[in-house]
Amino acid sequence: MKEHIIETQEPRPTATASAHTKTPKSQLSQLPPPPAGKPIRIVVVEDDEWLRENMAAEINQAGDLQCINGYSSGEAALKGIPEDSAQVVLMDIGLPGMDGVECVRKLKTVLPSAQVLMLTVYAESERVFAALLAGADGYLLKRSTTGELTEAIRKVHQGESPMDWRIARQMAQYFGRMGKARPGLPVLTGREREALELLAGGAGRKEIADRLGIAAETLTAHIKSIYQKLHAHCRGKAAAADLRK
C-alpha cells in the first residue's frame, strides 16, 4: 500500500496555485463519482498541492467516500467549508498563515457538526493536543497508508476518536490539573479515568477492555465521552474569556 509521506515519492511539479486558491473541482472529480447512497463528504485542507491532490484521489477511490473540495490555506477553508457542507475535514496542522489549530477553533464555531482530523508529519503531542483542545476530533499521520486514511475517515464520521498513549497522557495530566471542574463543566467518571490512565500507560484497547471487564464498544463510548468533556472545558474557557472582555 502506498504511503502519503512526500519524501518517498517522485519529485512533484511546482505548485502554481496561490495561497488562497481552492483546488479546482474538475481535478477532484477526475475519477467516476461514488455510487448513490450518500457518500461521506470530505474536504482536504493542505497547502502542499501535490499531497492535497494525492489524498483526494485516494479518497475518491473508495465507493463510500467523496472528496468534494480542497483548500490550500486556513483562510480559504473558513470561507468555503461551510458552503461545502463537509462532514469530515482533513486539516494540515502546520498551515502557513493561520495554522491548523486556529483554523479548527474558528471552523467549529461556524460548523460544529464537522468532524476534523488533523494531518501531521510526526505525532507532535503538544501541537496535536492543542488542536484537540481547539475542537479537533483526532489526528492522522501524513505517512499513513491509503487504507489507514480511509478507515480513519469512516471511524471519525461514526463518532470514534483515535487516541494513542502520548495524547492520553496529556489528557490525563490536563484533567488532573483541573481537579474539580468549575460549576457547569463536566468531570471524568471513575471508569473514564481508569481507561485514560491505562491508555496513557501504553495499553492497547483490547487489553484495556479485558482489564476493565467491558466490551470494546463500551470503551469506545468512554473515549468519545472524554473527548466531548475536553471540548466542553475548552468552550467553557473561551466563554469565560469572552465575558471578561
**Domain CATH for 238:** 1.10.10
Q: According to the model, what pLDDT value does residue 202 have?
A: 87
User: Cα(105)–Cα(115) distance, rounded to whole angstroms?
Assistant: 12
Same-domain check for residues 141 and 109:
yes
Q: According to the model, what pLDDT value does residue 142 have?
A: 87
Domain extent at residue 177 = 165-244
198 inside domain: yes
What burial letters (b/e) apply to 225-242, b meaning 16+ CB within 10 Å?
Answer: bbbebbbebbebeeeeee
Same-domain check for residues 137 and 28:
yes
Mean pLDDT value of segment 173-184: 68
Same-domain check for residues 118 and 172:
no
Q: Which of 7-16, 20-29, 158-167, 169-178 has the lowest mean pLDDT?
A: 7-16
Q: How far is CA 58 from CA 30, 54, 100, 178, 179, in A?
A: 12, 6, 22, 41, 44
Domain boundary among 157, 184, 199: 157
140 inside domain: yes
Grid coordinates of 190: 471513575
56 and 67 Cβ atoms separated by less than 8 Å: yes
Same-domain check for residues 139 and 179:
no
Q: For residue 110, give the CATH number of its domain.
A: 3.40.50.2300
Q: Looking at per-residue confidence, does 6 or 118 come out higher?
A: 118
| Predicted model pTM | 0.72
Mean pLDDT of the chain: 80
pLDDT at 208 over 70: yes
Which residues face 139 on adjacent strands? 118
